[in-house]
């Protein structure tokens, strides 16, 4: 079975279409009156970040997994690493731990926060937020995944399945979709649900600096960074940041320049 960049394009397009349909049928929150302009800016930024993350990243990960020259570097026995489902599970678990640590770092390290803040500056929350990252961010994260693929020695199929799963969960966790409270309570033990991850996008820093999981919530539970809010509050909870809330801040050009503006503010001495 071969999974290439074209497969990623098609899978991502279908995933987006599915959850956009679900958002229209069962929205969790009011989409607001500026949806068209917001989507235009978000998807413009997402196109740049998504290509680096989902397409270029997938190609690199799958290519490395298929290089026989790197097999000698693998730490796992071949009979273990060559099983696609085992390789997928190990790659997911290790990458999620590294992703959790990196996500905490983006929030805690002052020079990195302005890059990641582009994602949090969105005052809405739906599928268009999924890949609303500054293009620099996935390039910073990609080097964390590459050594994992090489050292685990997983198959190209396992690496590709991992990337497809990442696309699906990323879109799902940002979808403006209403899940029954009981279903959400069960699912959030296994994957990031929209209600679980939306808390991370709350404008209150107490919640912004929590729920750091990128696909799975397990390390939040393990390290005590999981937060929750009553189910009824989700519909009215203020999203985004305490700053960068003006309509002009949502323009594509302003979003691309946000890290430079933020880093300048970080470096500026306090009065």
Alpha-carbon distance 248 to 250, whole Å? Answer: 5
Q: What is the mean pLDDT of the chain?
A: 84
Read off the tokens for 151. Answer: 């050292």
Give the pLDDT band (50/70/90) at residue 78.
confident
pTM across the whole model: 0.85
List pLDDT tens digits, range 131-159. 888 888 887 887 777 777 777 778 878 88
pLDDT of res. 56: 60
Note the Cα 134 to chain centre separation in Å: 12
Contact partners, residue 81, CB within 8 Å, separation at least 6:
74, 87, 152, 153, 154, 155
Does residue 41 register a pLDDT over 50? yes
Tokens (6 digits) for 22: 């679900």
Instruction: Evaluate if residue 264 carries a pLDDT over 60.
Output: no
In the chain, domain spans: 5-267
Which two structure tokens, joined as six digits, stand for 172? 């799902």
The stretches of 51-132 forming alpha helices (DSSP H) are 57-65, 78-81, 84-108, 113-120
266 has a pLDDT exceeding 60: no
């Amino acid at each position: 079975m071969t999974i290439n960049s074209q497969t990623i394009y098609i899978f991502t397009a279908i995933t987006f279409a599915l959850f956009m349909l679900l958002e229209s049928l069962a929205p969790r929150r009011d989409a607001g009156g500026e949806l068209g302009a917001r989507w235009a800016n978000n998807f413009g930024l997402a196109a740049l970040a998504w290509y680096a993350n989902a397409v270029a990243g997938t190609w690199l990960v799958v290519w490395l997994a298929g290089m026989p020259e790197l097999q000698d570097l693998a730490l796992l026995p071949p009979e273990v690493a060559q099983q696609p489902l085992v390789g997928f599970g190990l790659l997911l678990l290790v990458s999620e731990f590294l992703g959790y640590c990196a996500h905490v770092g983006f929030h805690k390290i002052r020079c990195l926060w302005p890059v990641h803040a582009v994602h949090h500056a969105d005052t809405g929350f739906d599928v268009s937020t999924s890949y609303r990252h500054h293009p620099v961010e996935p390039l910073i994260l990609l080097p964390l995944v590459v050594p994992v693929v090489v050292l685990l020695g997983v198959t190209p199929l396992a690496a590709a399945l991992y990337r497809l799963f990442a696309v699906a969960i990323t879109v799902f966790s940002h979808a403006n979709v209403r899940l029954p409270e009981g279903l959400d309570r069960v699912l959030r033990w296994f994957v990031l649900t929209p209600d679980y991850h939306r808390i991370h996008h709350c404008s209150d820093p107490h919640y912004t600096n929590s729920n750091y999981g990128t696909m799975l919530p397990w390390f939040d539970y393990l390290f005590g960074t999981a937060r929750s809010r009553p189910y009824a509050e989700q519909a009215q909870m203020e999203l985004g940041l305490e700053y960068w809330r003006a309509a002009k801040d949502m323009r594509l050009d302003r979003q691309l320049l946000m890290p430079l503006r933020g880093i300048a503010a970080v470096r500026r001495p306090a009065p």
